[in-house]
Structure 1
């Protein structure tokens, strides 16, 4: 474990004696608050921060009988796709040694893949659960926005991020989602069951049954007879040849089980990566303003003026990727540029949502490769941040549209794991769980 650098902090937090997760070891990403156990967000800025309270999802884990075994390594403040921007060093991939585990929830996926935990929680702002799930050969679910409470999650991009499960199997991931899902009085963005069900019913019939506190694990029955799977052509074009072969083989498997596949189009996704990074970086620049050495973070000293102290704190506490995103986000929100960049990104977001709505008129769920490439070698991608951003092309549209998605193992290419992503309509977790379980 030490060699793979899975945990930032190892700890044992006992849960209730009984419950659906009794006897299960659960790892928790280090941007989710745990009372009395430090929560660093993978950053020197919070290296010594110890929260005075539990996040709602942690409360629910403990009430369900889980034993939390540690806080997992992550890209600093969730900003990265490889878990190499962590101030605590990179994490190796247990499923593909010498390669990245994906990010930003790479430590959580590695904990499951390396059997350091039975289950794990990660967070997904633009693919940060599904990316490491694909790279580590495990299952990861990004829930519909509002299904899982974000109370106690250290904010990166509020309108995009969701907490979700990682597990060895679809059923286990869905069972963990059962535990943490549901409305929370401390998070106004969560949805009541009746609201969620109405939202789902307005988009589809009983094939997309859902609602907070539903039994998602029961949907992992592998019965996909009569299911229609849409394949967005834009998310398959240009992917690595080996990844595409694994994806096509998985589609053939589904067809053999009674699935009908249809081609669908999401023309707006060509703008998704650009829109995502403008929105995410803008929200990050606002959220990270609190780390000034006074309210949170390392002190910038007490000599000179406040601006110098503030700058010194952030220079010392933040890594290069965080600085890059804060600067770009501040620029996008600045006077004279807000309408040029941020407002247009929100327009693109609405366009993406409309395209998904149209695609779900033709299919029950959508399928694509989770990642267009297999896992990078450690150190390979750090010198080209733009190429790293473009690797998120298949995952970020889901967050912009606030939809649920799951990544499930779909074979290998050159001995490296490949993931298949299923996307459902809002609160359509049952449908994506059922589709994914058919590949196991």
Structure 2
């Protein structure tokens, strides 16, 4: 029997250990029949993309290496984003613009359709002007593991921007970008927001559809806005929040978005707002000796108290243990993502066939171009799955459910939590150079952020001060659905105290006449 499948079937059978046995010929024949029946579907694997105007950046129009591609996607309607220029992370699909997830092996993948959120931005009057640099497949938090090189911090070119939405945060210092959209599976919006000196919101899980965005694991995939003002965050939330009927991450009911209205009619004080200073979140920072970070967050608490908030210390012991179970899910989730063409199996959402095709080909031929973190995740996650047959992932998911209950208890006593976004300030670029150093620092700053991907709770990083001249982020966290309340507090802080924002940089604009 010969067919296009012959060699593949023989190879897979040997790998699975089912190449022997008296009935093997019969099994192989049935396998071939099923594969031949699938041939018409396989013939449709490649779509045709309409190429949009884009260009790779140059130093004069991207001094921080924040941009993967400048582009110019005109709005299709009018709304709260009219006149605004928007960047989106390199994992968010923009039709006609290559989407590479920070991985050079995907440079020939050109999406044929917009992600849901891109379509919403364009309909609301926004203009998409860039796709931004990111850690390879979003599986690091330093901003140093992209195939395109590290993103520099706008406050110091000797330091990293943080990741994995490193370009999204750094690009907000460019005059040509008003608002960025990032993605967050363990802190990837909030860490670069804290290190670069901007605002970054990881919304309640599922409130914003993830359709058309490369993820890691559906239980932790989040996308959300990054900006220099609360009003810009709110305007983007008004556009992005809502069901699309395709993304299985979304709950049956997503509330009507009125964030812009609330921040334009702000509170006069914080009377009645109870804010808990999370002991474990502060302790993580003390362990790293970041006394300036602690001091900046404590000063923020005093300012919030002066505005009328009740400030009290609270403890959630699970905050120190939830990361282990979460990381198991992340590792197996990443391995499953790579094994299944970037989607996973069994969900009811839209699948991008061309992305699966390109990713599969890239991993077969160019796996060495993956970052050290992704290689570790792929190997470790696959080993976990092979060794435990899915039982370790199942146990980790059960453990997460038990640990999440600890946060629910504390929210009976307070309305929101506050803690440092990261346990230390921006890393020096030199400290993440080389595979060994990159692995050592790649996940070291996730202690306070990653737990809230597992819980699905909204979390907002705010630029509240400096440590050794570099930004410090304080993170507000609320129960699911408290996104607007976090922005209410941040808006009053913004109007009363103000933000310690990253500098705005001068740069040349892309030359579209070349």
TM-score by length of 1: 0.89
| 2:424 is aligned with 1:373 | yes
How is 1:126-205 mapped onto 2 (pairs within 5 angstroms)?
126-192=186-252, 195-196=253-254
Q: How far off its partner does 1:265 sit? A: 1.2
Q: How far off its partner does 1:118 sit? A: 0.3
Q: How far off its partner does 1:114 sit? A: 3.3
CA distance in 2, matches of 1:216, 1:325: 39
Tell me which of 279, 282, 286 is aligned to 2:336: 286
Q: Deviations over 1:81-121 (max 9, x none)?
A: 12211001111111332211110001000111333410010
Q: Deviations over 1:141-193 (max 9, x none)?
A: 0011110000001122221011100000112112111111101112132234x
Q: Which residue is equivalent to 2:292?
A: 242
CA distance in 1, matches of 2:379, 2:407: 31
Shift in alpha-carbon separation, 1:384–1:297, aligned structure 2, 3 A? closer
CA distance in 2, matches of 1:244, 1:370: 11
Shift in alpha-carbon separation, 1:238–1:269, aligned structure 2, 3 A? closer
Q: Deviations over 1:319-349 (max 9, x none)?
A: 322111111111222243643x323322331
CA distance in 2, matches of 1:151, 1:52: 13
Tell me which of 271, 274, 278 is aligned to 2:324: 274
Q: Which residue is equivalent to 2:275?
A: 229
Q: Deviations over 1:257-310 (max 9, x none)?
A: 00101111111122222222211111110111145998223747xxxxxxxxx6
Unaligned runs of at least 5 residues, structure 2: 1-60, 343-354, 495-514
Unaligned runs of at least 5 residues, structure 1: 197-210, 301-309
SS of equivalent to 1:395: coil
Give yes or no for contact 1:254–1:438 (8 Å, CA) kept in 2: no
| 2:402 is aligned with 1:351 | yes
SS of equivalent to 1:334: helix
Shift in alpha-carbon separation, 1:356–1:212, aligned structure 2, 3 A? farther
Give yes or no for contact 2:144–2:438 (8 Å, CA) kept in 1: no
CA distance in 2, matches of 1:386, 1:401: 26
CA distance in 2, matches of 1:336, 1:266: 30
More displaced stretch, 359-368 vs 1-10: 1-10
Q: Which residue is equivalent to 1:68?
A: 128
CA distance in 2, matches of 1:191, 1:219: 25
Shift in alpha-carbon separation, 1:86–1:79, aligned structure 2, 3 A? same
CA distance in 2, matches of 1:217, 1:231: 29
| 2:258 is aligned with 1:214 | yes
CA distance in 2, matches of 1:78, 1:410: 26
Tell me which of 356, 373, 377 is aligned to 1:325: 377
Q: Which residue is equivalent to 2:489?
A: 435
Q: Name the count of aligned residue pairs.
A: 413
CA distance in 1, matches of 2:182, 2:318: 28
Give yes or no for contact 1:25–1:117 (8 Å, CA) kept in 2: yes
CA distance in 2, matches of 1:96, 1:369: 21
Q: Which residue is equivalent to 1:87?
A: 147
Q: Which residue is equivalent to 1:305?
A: none
Shift in alpha-carbon separation, 1:44–1:290, aligned structure 2, 3 A? farther
Give yes or no for contact 1:41–1:77 (8 Å, CA) kept in 2: yes
Give yes or no for contact 1:130–1:141 (8 Å, CA) kept in 2: yes
CA distance in 1, matches of 2:414, 2:295: 22
Runs ≥4 in structure 1, deviation > 6 angstroms? none
Q: Deviations over 1:342-392 (max 9, x none)?
A: 233223311331011001001011111111101111131351634542310
Give yes or no for contact 1:172–1:217 (8 Å, CA) kept in 2: no
Q: Deviations over 1:52-80 (max 9, x none)?
A: 00000000000000011110000011111
Q: Which residue is equivalent to 2:386?
A: 334
CA distance in 1, matches of 2:441, 2:141: 11
| 2:469 is aligned with 1:415 | yes
CA distance in 2, matches of 1:191, 1:161: 14
Tell me which of 286, 295, 300 is aligned to 2:357: 295
Give yes or no for contact 1:273–1:390 (8 Å, CA) kept in 2: no
Q: State the structure with more CA Rg.
A: 2
CA distance in 1, matches of 2:336, 2:387: 15
